[in-house]
A and B are shown apart, each in its own frame.
Chain A
Amino acid sequence: MSIEVHLDRLLLDRKMTLTELSNRVGITQANLSNLKTGKARAIRFTTLDALCRELHCQPGELLSHTTEPDRLHL
């Protein structure tokens, strides 16, 4: 999949831990970890909305498309 998830970078910029984000958006750490590590196959609009709200970012800052196929960027 050629979608990059920049959750790590955004958490670092906001000085926020995964646990804190998990508590704020109401998503389990396991699911956020799946998203962070690129294991997730899909993301709900509600999840994206909650993440953008808590991280004060746009969807484009969280996700990006890479031209390299079949490689996960974490």
Chain B
Amino acid sequence: MSTTNRLPRILQRLTEIGIAITAVVAVVFLVAVVFTDSALETPMEFTPDEDTYSLASEAWGTGTIHDAVGIVDFTDKSAAYVALSAAKVLAYAAASLALLVLLRRILQTLSAGTPFVDTNADRIRAIGILFPAFGFLIQGLHWATSLMVMDTVTAEGLHIEARLTLNLTYLFIGLVIVALAEAFRYGTHLQTDADLTV
């Protein structure tokens, strides 16, 4: 068996191992979030009420903190907060599993020697859509948890905000993959033409 035939099979096995590991890790994280006292990380933005937060540097003089973004760990958890955190874990797990399952199916067709089929173009496009969908979902969930916490948190001298960050990296990755999926679809038409040329 040549290396070109072996590589898809090896990658296929790796994705199968990845699926099993992802499922186990998701369950472990879910149990940790719901049933243990582990801290839940929440991204938040801090702004001093006044310019009272200052820094001193021997070389540069004094400086003032205007705003900062950080992660807050909460150990006392409300049911809603735990539910949203569990939703984050489930979103990560679902996206990872969907990606790995789609990848495994593509690799299966590659191992069988018939990768240029329309279903694979659909699978690649689905991966491309999955990236920004997951990215926006997880950012929304971060924002929702931050909003929930923000109402209950008080910190003297600090103004706390829940920041909705729109990370466009996922969107650009998705666009590139969708474009490649359409190029792949054109490849399937060429493959059909080649197959039906006598």
| Chain A residue at minimal CB-CB distance from B192 | A41
Interface residue tally for chain A (C-beta within 8 Å): 12
**1-53 of chain A: CB within 8 A of chain B:** 27, 31-32, 34-35, 39-44, 47
Interface residue tally for chain B (C-beta within 8 Å): 5
B residues near A42, Cβ cutoff 8 Å: 193, 196-198
Q: How far is the CA of A44 from the CA of B197 in the complex (A)?
A: 7
Q: Shortest beta-carbon distance, A53 to chain B, in Å?
A: 15
| Chain B residue at minimal CB-CB distance from A41 | B196
Partner of B196, one of A27, A39, A47: A39
Q: How far is the CA of A40 from the CA of B194 in the complex (A)?
A: 10
**168-198 of chain B: CB within 8 A of chain A:** 192-193, 196-198
| Chain A residue at minimal CB-CB distance from B197 | A42
Contact indicator per residue, chain A 34-74, by CB within 8 Å of chain B (1) or not (0):
11000111111001000000000000000000000000000
Taking each of B192, B193, B196, B198, which has the highest tally of chain A beta carbons within 10 Å of its own beta carbon? Answer: B198
Q: How far is the CA of A26 from the CA of B198 in the complex (A)?
A: 11
Residues of chain B touching chain A, judged by Cβ–Cβ distance below 8 Å, are 192-193, 196-198
8 A-B residue pairings within 8 Å (CB atoms): A27-B198, A31-B198, A32-B198, A41-B193, A41-B197, A44-B197, A44-B198, A47-B198
